Structure 1
Amino acid sequence: MYQVCRVKGFQKQLIEDGVISSDRSRIIPLQGGVSSDIYLIEDGDKRFVVKRALEKLKVEADWYADTSRNKAESDFIDFVETLRPGVVPKISAKGDGYFAMEFLGDGFRNWKADLLAGNIDVRSAEQAGKVLADIHRQSAGRPDLAEQFEHMDSFWQLRLEPYLLVVAEKHSDLRFSIEKVAFGLKDERIALIHGDFSPKNIVISSDRWVLLDCEVACYGDPAFDVAFLINHLLLKALYHKKYYQELSVLVDEFWCSYKSNGFDLDLKVSRLLPMLLLGRVDGKSPVEYLVEESEKEFVRGFSTETILHPSKDLETLVRFWFKQLSEFQPQSEE
């Protein structure tokens, strides 16, 4: 009942704002992330998507965030569109707490879904590295963007606190190291970052690669974006152990593509990556596809060792992950 009333109220707002023509327009809730309501709108012969940020996220834990991040997302899309037209969805309208954008439906595949299905596409990883490097490079040293995207409060609420500080509370032996990195990220102002650069936020068609869900965008440390993407690729390799060699190639392609065009982030990424791995097991938003306790213990063991005894560079860290993974034997729970 509450969901129906909420949709009806939002429909009225969209009519008043001139985004849809009448109450005969269909508003269809879409599945997706935990931090926003996302609707497919069918208004006559027009189909588009409307996204509205939520104050309380759709997770079990009490997790709240500033809804002004909706503007941060639309501003990020506007900026990236000037750099690489077509790499982000086209925005058609903006309103109080929401924006409307093109519907990327027929012909598009979600990169995360592809990976979970065992479809390994090296070109997607290479493109991810190029696009991310371009965003970082073109936005660095821009006081105007630093002021426009001063959204560190949202980044803290949605990334640093739930992924790092919550984990630090649970692992007292790692607390000092994790908190040092978290507060360092909070203080950095280097370039525009996406903040949720992961396969679930990338869709692909035969002729287009599109980046979505940039509501955590802020002016911060580019190392976070790089580590965040590699983190997801490593976890997919644990889930799909039989494809771990192919996924190791994906990591290499992404990192080589980024390094050729972006910043030298080797040391920073190698320090942050084990913490993010642990964050997707023991943080506020654990990945849904690692269900065996033995898989979670594998991540905990690897992360603990490499946080307490850091690798000299990212290549060494990633190589160690895949070596450990090659020897890992998952144990199904009774």
Structure 2
Amino acid sequence: MSEHGFDGVPTAAEVLSDLVEAGLVRAKGQLAPLAGGVSCEVWRIDAVDLVEEVRQRNTHGLVVKAPLATLRTPSLWQADTSRGFAEAEALECYGRLTPSSVPRVVWRHPQAPLLVIEAAPRTWQEWREQMLHAEIGSPELGSARLCAIGTHLGSTLATWHVRTRDIAALPEVLRSGDRLRTLRTDPFHRATALEVPMIGPRLRELAIELERAQTCLVHGDFSPKNVLVNPPGAQALGAWMLDAEVAHVGDPALDVAYFSAHLACKAVARPELAGSLNLARQAFEEAYRTESSLVDARRWNEHTGAILAARIRGVSRVTYLSPEAESFVLAEACQLVGGHGTLDETWDSIARRASRSA
């Protein structure tokens, strides 16, 4: 891998060769591609294909990630693949702070941004998929469970933010690079500013605000699509936050806004869940604010509006909303970005829309 680098897409054969050489995988092991991501090639390796010593510590297998230089989006979106090194450092940092909330890093390639992490049990599911596709009334969508997940994530995120404020103690790769600009503020804020000129100036200001901040370690992709959860009915809730490619020293407002915006989009997509998802939103906010005062209400509102607008008119757009729903979300986003609304008011609007569609 170190010979050919990551200018192109790494093949499964190339990755397998590195893992065999590293003593992780048997020579005849198999890598099964995992679908769904736009920024990486991802493979799963079953435990049976691991060498004995590794299999004993990773009974559910392993997951391998290799970042792409050109992301899989309709509009051209390129980013430095060195973000793979940042992700490895961030996951190790989060693992020390909250060991049960992230997968364990198993191996890192010494020269290339190739990362191997423990795999979750196959019974675990992506939280976004549950919210979008699970049957209404199913245990996955029970209000108590949604609130428990929201509380867990709010507490976890607050811990990460508060306990990484000593930025000088963080690895250099997390304190440098242009991941925030290339993966967030340019394709989100500045691209959306061109599409929605009414809020363009404020979006550009919010982008600069994020880029200038040096408050703590920021995950950068704190979204339901990156949350894996165990099945309902388990003795205790299990939830992992994945995909820390955008991790950087910056503004904690990005993380709380990113999560809040995506939860709102799910509530718009499934109006029958709006009430339960609002409770989950409130549980997340309460848990975060109990442990952290780093983001005030005004900034939480405005930055959430920026992410909402970006998911409708930026480079990376949600694909599960109807044109009418997109227009609704964009209107709410403009209110928030302009400082003319609050998240509570946005969720009141979501509830009124849901009642009309009932």
Instruction: Using structure 2 for the length normalisation, give the TM-score.
Output: 0.85
Deviates more, 1:113-122 or 1:217-226: 113-122
Deviation of 1:168 (Å): 0.3
Distance 1:330 1:86 in 2: 38
Give the SS at the match of 2:62: strand
Paired residues, what number? 323
Distance 2:166 2:130 in 1: 36
Distance 2:94 2:338 in 1: 38
Match of 1:21 in 2: 26
Match of 2:114 in 1: 98
Distance 1:93 1:286 in 2: 33
Distance 2:165 2:217 in 1: 7
Cα-to-partner distance string for 1:291-330 (whole Å, 9 max, x where unaligned): x21111111222223323433xxxxx12211222233379
RMSD (Å), alpha carbons? 2.2
Q: Which runs of 5+ in 1 are unaligned?
A: 312-316
Give the SS at the match of 2:31: strand
Give the SS at the match of 1:38: strand
Preserved contact between residue 271 and residue 310 of structure 1 (Cα < 8 Å): no
Preserved contact between residue 64 and residue 117 of structure 2 (Cα < 8 Å): yes
Match of 1:201 in 2: 226
1:114 equivalenced with 2:130 (yes/no): yes
Match of 1:161 in 2: 186
Give the SS at the match of 1:26: coil
CA 1:201–1:249: 2 relative to 1, 3 Å:
same
1:269 equivalenced with 2:325 (yes/no): no
1:252 equivalenced with 2:282 (yes/no): yes
CA 1:163–1:5: 2 relative to 1, 3 Å:
closer
Deviation of 1:289 (Å): 1.1
Matches within 5 A, 1:108-187: 108-116=124-132, 117=134, 118=136, 119-120=141-142, 121-145=146-170, 147-187=172-212
Give the SS at the match of 1:50: strand
What is the identity percentage for the equivalent residue pairs of Structure 1 and Structure 2?
26
Give the SS at the match of 1:14: helix
Distance 2:21 2:82 in 1: 21
Distance 1:251 1:329 in 2: 16
Give the SS at the match of 2:159: helix
1:6 partner letter: T
Q: Which runs of 5+ in 2 are unaligned?
A: 1-7, 56-60
Deviates more, 1:80-89 or 1:11-20: 11-20
Deviates more, 1:58-67 or 1:3-12: 3-12
Distance 1:128 1:327 in 2: 27
1:274 partner letter: G
Deviation of 1:263 (Å): 2.2
Distance 1:269 1:4 in 2: 37
1:39 equivalenced with 2:43 (yes/no): yes
Distance 1:110 1:135 in 2: 21
CA 1:300–1:98: 2 relative to 1, 3 Å:
same
Distance 2:248 2:22 in 1: 28
2:289 partner letter: K
1:283 partner letter: G
CA 1:130–1:144: 2 relative to 1, 3 Å:
same
Cα-to-partner distance string for 1:260-297 (whole Å, 9 max, x where unaligned): 0012412211111111111111111111211x211111
Preserved contact between residue 294 and residue 331 of structure 1 (Cα < 8 Å): no
Deviates more, 1:149-158 or 1:70-79: 149-158
Distance 2:251 2:339 in 1: 23
Instruction: Using structure 1 for the length normalisation, give the TM-score.
Output: 0.91
1:89 partner letter: P
Cα-to-partner distance string for 1:167-215 (whole Å, 9 max, x where unaligned): 0011122111000010110010000011000111111223322111111
1:235 partner letter: C
Deviates more, 1:129-138 or 1:24-33: 24-33
Deviation of 1:35 (Å): 0.5
Match of 2:312 in 1: 281
Deviation of 1:142 (Å): 3.0
1:99 partner letter: L
2:318 partner letter: V
**Which among 3, 6, 12 is matched to residue 17 of structure 2?**
12
Give the SS at the match of 1:67: coil
Preserved contact between residue 146 and residue 219 of structure 1 (Cα < 8 Å): no
Deviation of 1:5 (Å): 8.2
Preserved contact between residue 270 and residue 310 of structure 1 (Cα < 8 Å): no
Distance 1:127 1:89 in 2: 16
Give the SS at the match of 2:63: strand
Distance 1:276 1:330 in 2: 25
Match of 1:314 in 2: none
Distance 2:339 2:92 in 1: 42
Deviation of 1:245 (Å): 1.4
Preserved contact between residue 55 and residue 66 of structure 1 (Cα < 8 Å): yes
Give the SS at the match of 2:163: helix
